[in-house]
Amino acid sequence: MAYAVKEIYLTLQGEGAHAGRAAVFCRFTGCNLWSGREEDRSTATCKFCDTDFLGTTEPGGGKFASSSELAERILEVWNDDVVGGRPFVVFTGGEPLLQIDEELIAECQARGLEVAIETNGTLEALTEIDWICVSPKAGAAFVQRVGDEIKLVYPQHGCSPEDFEHLDFKHFFLQPMDGPDRAANIELAANYCRSHPQWRLSLQTHKLIGIP
């Protein structure tokens, strides 16, 4: 299978349970909840996406003809700058489950990579993935109902924390919605977490410190 990748880069995971951890981000092109084009945002299921997942021309991006080629490139990006530690890759998008498959996971793990995924939960994740982070979106089908962490962008009309608190996840995070109301949304999320301690606050620390 060929893979269309927007970008591959080394950074720190900015969100959730692994916040602050060195990670290679592999961002796939394409999503099933928004085309990625601004002219389609008003009719998209997910209207608040803050990620550019169109095209394959960003650093590290491109078309990869095989799972082994992509896995090797990810490991090279890790090895270029990291000393020690288990290599860690986060597959994201867009929606990475439109492309990720068993072959790619196996090729990554064969090279010692720990494999994480950030998904909107509309598609079933492969059980071989080491870490599954699900970020539900209002108005979208919710299929992936188990995982390691659920990261709910908050607030979302029609998508409340109570809808998910009974599910089989190890970690429950509220992430304030970015945009012009970010300060108010941080306060709302913080207040909710104070009164509902099952949930923890997740801030986008990569944006706060100015890294990709």
- Which pLDDT value is given to residue 1? 81
User: How close are the terminal C-alpha atoms of the chain, in Å?
Assistant: 28
What's the alpha-carbon Rg for the chain, to the nearest Å? 17
25 among known catalytic residues = yes
Encode pLDDT of 145-196 as tens digits: 999 999 999 999 999 999 999 999 999 999 999 999 999 999 999 999 999 9
The active-site residue out of 26, 31, 133, 193 is 31
Encode pLDDT of 52-102 as tens digits: 999 999 999 999 999 999 999 999 999 999 999 999 999 999 999 999 999
User: Largest alpha-carbon pair distance within the chain?
Assistant: 49
Q: What is the CATH number of the domain that holds 77?
A: 3.20.20.70
The active-site residue out of 15, 26, 29, 49 is 49
Phi-psi category of 55—alpha, beta or left, where left has phi over 0 and alpha has psi -120 to 50?
left
133 among known catalytic residues = no
40 among known catalytic residues = no
193 among known catalytic residues = no
CA atoms in the 13 A half-sphere facing the CB of 39? 0
29 among known catalytic residues = no
For residue 16, the enclosing domain spans: 3-209
Is 11's pLDDT higher than 90? yes
206 among known catalytic residues = yes
> How does residue 204 score in pLDDT terms, banded at 50, 70 and 90?
very high
Domain count, the chain: 1
| CB-based contact 26:74 (threshold 8 Å) | yes
